[in-house]
Amino acid sequence: MIDHERLVELDRRHLWHPFTQMQGWLDDDPLIIERGEGAYLFDTRGRRYLDGVSSLWVNVHGHRKAEIDEAVRAQLDRVAHTTLLGLSSVPAIELAERLASVAPPGLSRVFYSDSGSTAVEIAVKIAFQCWKQRGRPSKRQFLALGEAYHGDTIGSVSLGGMDLFHGIFQPLLFPVLRAPEPYCYRCPLSRRPEECEMACAREAERLIEAHAGELAAVVVEPIVQGAAGMIVQPPGWLRRVWDACRAHDVLFIADEVAVGFGRTGTLFACEQEGVVPDLLCLAKGITGGYLPLAATLATESVFEAFLGAYESDRTFFHGHTYTGNPLACAAAIASLDLLEAEKTVEQVEPAAERLAAGLAPLGDHPHVGEIRQRGLMVGIELVADRKTRAPFPRPLRMGHRAILEARRRGVILRPLSDVVVLMPPLCLSGAQIDELAAVTVASIEAATTGA
């Protein structure tokens, strides 16, 4: 028997939750998950919830997916962990080949780590060292977007452009060139989409051209800037930035930690604009949401800059202890098998249309500023005033209120400030999509009534 009260007591006494103001947490009644099944999670009181954010954007095929369970168990019967430092392992090799075969063409080298932050950190270090060893050491700067989020380690925080998360650490960070985020609803250039001719892309192109001699790489989340509030890039934006990189000999790093593995309707978001990055960062969905694993994929051209005699010190001196963990690699292979066998990605577009239809009643809601969606990534921006686009006062915690309403109605969501995020597992049935949409509409209605 699960003693819920005892767990609550111990949670309050010992846990420090990520991205959480623990003072408020101690007053809340925590929801403690005990198990999962398909798209649902069950808490310690036996209550069932639809997992509306894929357990923080990782789950793809649902919880306790038989094929992935089986693959991890089979690997457990062989070995749970061995190192890639000086040795290799069967699942790490098999997965590397599989990733290279599904990634955009030319990304044939796989460097493993264990989180999205490290995948990006590694891409940054590779790009930096690559230019040094290509004989162009002045190319050592990075360009990232306003509102960018690339993880929580110091290197990836340096790329970050979200004041709320990153501001306090400023003195610890390396300086980064900043291009305007293509956030049409709140344009940082104060332009309107009808007349701007994508001034934000023009500005990114200008920065890339002007700083080509110092720029090692441009780092972007393709198609959707997730943690920024599900900012969907206007069509053509990504392609223009990539074209500028190619024209000016600047590496292009695609952070597909959130958008990868089908979320936006293609296996990788870059595909939608025919973009082929020099470095591709993968994590979150890579194992189907089972185990921590990440991969930074590189082209042979980047890789070759690291080759040399043992004593040349052209080695990439980086590696985490659990790099390429065999259990995680086995889960990732099983997840790729499922993506193929179940044609999961092909089902994203019809599912996305159904979800959009279910959310349509929010289209003219007085407290919904904008609904942004690409594939099964959705952000619903709540505002105090639809006309002026004025946000709610922060202490109201309107996004949080909305997700508490959803929780009462049996759906787990997590907001980004006042943007209500939906990012369900790709395996959702039609009925489950309808449930997610109906609960979201009712919850936003309930939270904002009287606001």
Ligand X SMILES: *Cc1c(COP(=O)(O)O)cnc(C)c1O
Positions touching ligand X (CB under 6 A) are: 115-117, 120, 149-151, 221, 226-227, 255, 257-258, 283-284
Provide, rounded to whole angstroms, the least separation between the CB of residue 46 and ligand X.
30
Of 50 and 53, CB closest to ligand X: 53
Of 104 and 151, CB closest to ligand X: 151
Provide, rounded to whole angstroms, the least separation between the CB of residue 161 and ligand X.
12
**The two three-digit tokens of residue 296, written as one number:** 């930074």
Of 117 and 373, CB closest to ligand X: 117
Provide, rounded to whole angstroms, the least separation between the CB of residue 150 and ligand X.
5
104 and 277 Cβ atoms separated by less than 8 Å? yes
Of 172 and 431, CB closest to ligand X: 172
Which residue has its beta carbon closest to ligand X?
116
Provide, rounded to whole angstroms, the least separation between the CB of residue 227 and ligand X.
5
Provide, rounded to whole angstroms, the least separation between the CB of residue 433 and ligand X.
22
Of 254 and 362, CB closest to ligand X: 254
Of 107 and 437, CB closest to ligand X: 107
Provide, rounded to whole angstroms, the least separation between the CB of residue 225 and ligand X.
8
Of 222 and 369, CB closest to ligand X: 222
**The two three-digit tokens of residue 275, written as one number:** 């973009």
CA neighbor of 352 nearest in space, from 229, 257, 224, 234: 224
Of 98 and 284, CB closest to ligand X: 284
Q: What is each CA distance from 73 to 84, 88, 222, in whole angstroms?
A: 21, 20, 35
Handedness of CA 218, 221, 227, 233 (dihedral sign): positive
- What is d(CA 86, CA 287) in angstroms, rounded to the nearest whole number? 24
Provide, rounded to whole angstroms, the least separation between the CB of residue 341 and ligand X.
26
226 and 57 Cβ atoms separated by less than 8 Å? yes
Of 139 and 150, CB closest to ligand X: 150
Of 224 and 441, CB closest to ligand X: 224
Provide, rounded to whole angstroms, the least separation between the CB of residue 158 and ligand X.
13
Provide, rounded to whole angstroms, the least separation between the CB of residue 222 and ligand X.
10
Provide, rounded to whole angstroms, the least separation between the CB of residue 124 and ligand X.
12
Provide, rounded to whole angstroms, the least separation between the CB of residue 120 and ligand X.
6
Of 115 and 440, CB closest to ligand X: 115
Handedness of CA 276, 280, 285, 290 (dihedral sign): positive
Backbone angles phi, psi at 196, to 5 degrees: -80, -20
DSSP-derived pairing of the beta strands 251-255 and 279-282: parallel
